[in-house]
Chains A and B, each alone.
Chain A
């Protein structure tokens, strides 16, 4: 049996969520007695492809050609499908990143495969693969099986761990002729936003809510985030009030996140917000209201004014971390 793990690269660097995916594919391959093959698609990516040997890929295929320098979901899906067919892959894994979510449905149609999206666990039981995925923004989980012979899974970033795997892989370069009609929608430009990590990928998130009293006080959130190398998150209330951009919103109509540490500052914890962050490994909450629902989830809660506690925390952390 072959497992094909698609590894996403941006600017010739493999994304962490893809290292997690390749490593998870290897774990599964060992369990099922299969072979883990990684696939990288782009232009000038041979160096990046090599790295995947350290995360469990027994072989790495690099489809490396100039017309794939810019992302196109149709062209990439065509290439991934062609490799999956050539390799006879029965299982295809992708990260449930924005790119993975954009590609997996197209590959599923082309391969006649079922797709379980955004999985947080994948286990083999009596020869059957059972995937677990959050639904209703994490208020519930479903266990699913895929009934088609070829199966596709996308894995939620930050849930599977990208531990190094002793080994190395030879990179096999391939090319695939593409025509103008294969491209569909094409990326013309990429605009980078803050330079801070994205909430869906960050190990640590510092998130702010109405308790900050005004947009100007989000400076306190940003300062703490920068000391911790964290992403900045926000509650729906402050996004709707226009204090923060919507791409920072955590919760049911924003991002569902699973960081190692989530620091909720001045967020009372509406049910929609709690759904989006309750799978964080550790939760710190700072809020004035001791009855705020967020404290029911907080591993470490401090009842108090965020405007007073945040500068203190940032200052002491700076010292402790030597920054």
Chain B
């Protein structure tokens, strides 16, 4: 089983976002970047599939040199090799997907994994765009997957429940929290990752379809208000919800 996992390098979740001087991107000063959490789940799933069915796991990322750090983390977890599609420009999801699809066409994996969304732009479209570009089936927001005889049965999260979805391979899967518990890289894994190959090549050019014209902070909320310090405040809360907020 040839498995490919696409990963992104994103500001860690503790980051307090500041708008950069270009008013289009964030201020990266002092920001720690990491393997996007859903992508980490995708890597873990890829490793488990490889270990069960034999084969190899290649991780791909599109971006600048800093993305090597995230690729190294995936290699330390156990991935066999990595491909960095080098690009220092700002791309929209479509342009990212187009370049990934180009490389994946060449790699022709049996199974392609993504995180359900990258936690920077929260677009949740790259994985499904790639699937459509490659003419492959896809299952998004996957919390369970089982492979048997080239057929994959998944559970995917929808509003208020789960869908049981079946597809043939090759196909694309977008991992959601709950699919597995990603491993921590072992010391041995971290050492081994140093000698695993990261192939670097320029990302294929692609048009930008969605143009960002401004990045800004959301409007500030009113300062908080404490209405009481024990259960005696409950009637006042109910009154406010009824009369002021008009919710109940």
Contacts and interface: CB of A to CB of B under 8 A. Distances in A.
A161 interface: no
B226 A301 contact: yes
B60 to A, nearest CB: 18
Interface in B3-40: 11, 13-17, 19, 26, 37-38
B: interface residue count bin: 35 or more
A140 B13 contact: no
B167 to A, nearest CB: 4
Contacts, number: 270
B226 A101 contact: no
A186 B166 contact: yes
B160 A299 contact: no
Nearest to A102: B140
Contact of B128 (A105, A116, A133, A137): A105
Contact of A185 (B16, B138, B162): B138
B201 interface: no
A33 interface: no
B209 A148 contact: yes
B213 interface: yes
A143 B224 contact: no
Given A102-B128, A185-B165, A297 B224 contact: yes
A252 interface: yes
A252 B38 CA distance: 11
B238 A320 contact: yes
A193 B140 CA distance: 18
B119 interface: yes
Contact of B160 (A147, A198, A304): A198
A162 interface: no
A118 B222 CA distance: 25
Interface in B32-53: 37-38
Interface stretch (A58-66, A107-115, A164-172, A208-216): A107-115
B210 A114 contact: yes
B161 A109 contact: no
Given A116-B210, A117-B93, 17 more contacts: A105-B125, A106-B128, A114-B92, A139-B16, A139-B17, A184-B136, A185-B139, A187-B164, A188-B164, A190-B162, A191-B162, A228-B248, A261-B245, A285-B224, A299-B225, A299-B245, A316-B238
18 contacts: A105-B97, A106-B128, A108-B125, A109-B132, A115-B209, A117-B123, A130-B213, A135-B122, A139-B218, A143-B216, A144-B213, A147-B210, A184-B171, A187-B163, A252-B13, A253-B119, A298-B224, A309-B233
